Each structure stands twice: as C-alpha cells, then as structure tokens.
Structure 1
C-alpha cells in the first residue's frame, strides 16, 4: 500500500512541477464576450495527461506491467482488512469545492455560470471517453466482479474536478489546486486499495480527467458563443451540456 501511495503522490507532484513551467497562460481577447480568463491552448499542456493515458493503454498489453499490477494486487490483498468506500464520495470533492468556493467568498477566474458550463462540458468529455474505453477494452477488475476496469471512472472524475479547482483558484492560492490533486490521488489509491482497479486503470483515469477539463476550457469560448443569446438586453439564455452516465444532452437556463 505504501508503494501505491508514494507512486501516486509522485505522479501528482510531477504534474505540478511541469505544469508550473508550461505555457499555461491566460487568453486576453477584445471581443464582446469576456473570454479574458480562459485557458489558452498549448501542446505542452497535453504532455502529462498523454503520458498518463499512454501508460495505462500500454499496460493493457505489456506482460511486465501486468506483472507489476499483479504484484501490487497481491500486496494489497495481504494487508487489507476491510474495504473503505470513501472513494465513492471523494471523487466528487474537488469539483464540488471548485463550484462552491464562491459561496464562501473566494472568487475564481470565472463566474459561477461559466464554471458550471466548463464543468458540464468536461464531465461529458470525461464520461463519454471512460464509458467508450471500458466497453472497448473489456478489462476485468482485480476483484473479478465485471469487465469494466479500464479506465477508472472514479479517478477520472476526481482529477477532472482537481484540474478545475487548480485552474480557477491557483492564482488565489496554489494550495487550493494542490489540495484538490491530493484528494484526487487519494481517490485513485483507494480504488486500488478496495481491489476495484489496477494501477494502470487509475493512472489512465487521472490523465483522462485532467485532459477533459483542459479541453472544456479550450472549448468554452466556442460553446458559450454558440449557446448564449446576447441579442436581448432584457432576456438572456444559455444551453448547458450534461451527461448523466447514460444520456447526453443540453439543459436550458434562462433569465428574464
């Protein structure tokens, strides 16, 4: 168990070390809609999540990495007394924190509405990706309960929220972002501890979660322009995308 926690911890710290030196800058646009606080696309931002996902995919076929997975499973099973289901709740903690911080008087880069759109978009991207990969890979869970092990949806959800928390509040305090990633890493560790996922499932889930939120920020200006009505000064409406695990669609929000 110590090996798992240390490995996930260093994966998280490695991400922050590189992210701080990457070109993770803010776009300053002069168009009417305020996009001056959105994440600018840069290929360097793809490096870390791509490495995570690549490791997960390679481990599906690599005998050496499969052996590593099995060794971790054996070590966990030797020391586990009972399952701790905190990961069923901790997966949502970073995202909830990112949305609710404003209610506590801590303002992020974007308004509550914009954060909701970004979160919804990232959840759709993450949900569709995870569901598609689970169906395509048909990987059996360590506990043998089903064949939907790869990738870890809980971990993807946690890292998706952690990246949102990081992007919104890193300029207020870097510790908000770090705390979100520590919770996400802990979620991944408990998925392994509870014998629900292999290590590569968790690593791939982390990459998918991070990349989903980054993609949502990159897509936000386009989505907001397409689905926001700016023609009327007395009435405004917006379509917010949603994904509930089975259905994809859009919800209408209107003010009069």
Structure 2
C-alpha cells in the first residue's frame, strides 16, 4: 500500500509542478468586472509552493507514530453532519458578497465556471487517489481515507473565494479558509480521517483551484459579460437556500 501511495502522490505532484515551465502568462481583462493590477500572473511554480509543501508534509507523517498518537486526542466521536455544509460555505459566501456589491475579480458567470471546474476536478482526483491508495480510515469503515474528500472540496471552495477577493478585500478573501479548517477538524473529530488525510486533501483542493484560475483564459467565454440585464444572486429564507437568475426589462 505504501509503495502505491507514494507512486500516485508523486505522479500527481510532478504532473502539476511540470506546468510551471509556462512561466508568467498575460492576464485577459475586461472593462466590466475584472481588474488587471500588474498585467501578468505569478508563475505557476510560485502558486504551487504551498500545496507542494502540504503534500510533502502529508507524505512525511502518513502512517507515522505521531499520526497514530494524535488521532485519539482529536477524535471526539462527533455525530454532526455540519461538515457536509461547511465545505461549500465559501462558495455560498462568494455569491452573498456579490449580492451585497463587494467587488470581485470576475463576473458571476466566470466565478461559477471556475468554481465548477475546481470542484469537479478536485472531486475526480480525490476519488481516484482514495481508490488507488487504499488507506484504512481510523474508524475502520473502509479503505478510502487518503485524501479527505470533504477537506479537498472545502479548500477548493475556500481558494475560489480567495482568488475572487484577494485584490479587493484581502481580509474577506482569507476568511473562507476558516470554513475549510473547520471542515478538516470535523473530519478528524468524527474519526473519519487521519491528520495526513486532511493535509493532503487541502493540498489537492488548493492546487487544482489555483491551476484552474491560472488557465482560466483558455475558457474565457462569457455570454453575460456585456449585459446588465441579467442578475444572479443568492436566495435565503424559510429554511431554504439557493440562487435565482433575474432578467431586467
């Protein structure tokens, strides 16, 4: 199991890091929603430093004595399902901020597109790793512990939120990670995951989302960009939540 574990993680890490050879890319701009602060993006290598550090940390502590001694201290045998919602809270917060008029990097359609790609690819890669790594959960439920799916989606969501508001509202941008960290903690407190599981999950979610935003100019199509007739806002009330698309006449 350990050999297969290392092979799959290293392949993922190297395939992601190899894209750094692209260097800096020219940012595409529009006059409606997107701000062009410097004209260039940081290289992908710089964007991947933290995810790669997290990946290395996960590999280092996976199945270690430290990890096995830590889990009983964190495990609270919680039965809450709030982590099913906190993993997507930053995405909901992004649309709420849009509805309140907070300036974001992208138009709502581009936000939705980037979020969809980030969450989809994060889910696919996380599921593939789970199946092939074959690590047992601390509660013994199955052998799909590494990486944590809830955590990977939570950090993907938080990174989408961060990318949208990092240049306009930096403090707000970082707030999404509080939900991601809470999700990671809850997965361990519920005895669903080990420490390395949530660390690798966070690395996957962040890396995939940063890659999506780095390459978003490749799928820049937006049919609503020049139209002010369409309004997309979140809707909350009566114990229900969702979104609605309105058309101004």
* TM-score, scaled to structure 2: 0.71
**In the TM superposition, what are the counterparts of 1:105-120 in structure 2 within 5 Å?**
105-120=101-116
Q: Which shifted more, 43-52 or 167-176?
A: 167-176
Say if 1:30 and 1:161 are closer, same or farther in 2 by CA, change over 3 A: closer
Match of 1:54 among 56, 59, 73: 56
Partner of 1:251: none
Partner of 1:94: 90
CA-to-aligned-CA distance 1:110-167 (integer Å, 9 cap, x gap): 0000001111111122111101100110111111111111101111111111111111
Match of 1:129 among 122, 125, 130: 125
- 1:83 deviates by 3.0
- Within the alignment, does 1:74 sit opposite 2:72 as a pair? yes
* TM-score, scaled to structure 1: 0.69
Q: Do the aligned partners of 1:91 and 1:157 also contact (CA within 8 Å) in 2?
A: yes
- Within the alignment, does 1:160 sit opposite 2:161 as a pair? no
Match of 1:174 among 170, 184, 194: 170
Secondary structure of 1:201's aligned partner: helix
C-alpha distance in 1 between matches for 2:69 and 2:141 = 19
- 1:179 deviates by 1.3
Q: Do the aligned partners of 1:95 and 1:158 also contact (CA within 8 Å) in 2?
A: no
Runs of 4+ in 1 over 6 A off after TM superposition: 30-35
- 1:201 deviates by 0.5
Q: Do the aligned partners of 2:33 and 2:106 also contact (CA within 8 Å) in 1?
A: no
- 1:75 deviates by 1.7
Say if 1:74 and 1:111 are closer, same or farther in 2 by CA, change over 3 A: same
CA-to-aligned-CA distance 1:171-195 (integer Å, 9 cap, x gap): 2322212211111111101111110
RMSD: 3.0
Q: Which shifted more, 176-185 or 107-116?
A: 176-185
Partner of 2:181: 185
C-alpha distance in 2 between matches for 1:45 and 1:54 = 16
C-alpha distance in 2 between matches for 1:149 and 1:117 = 29
Say if 1:167 and 1:191 are closer, same or farther in 2 by CA, change over 3 A: same
Secondary structure of 2:215's aligned partner: helix
Q: Which shifted more, 83-92 or 152-161?
A: 83-92
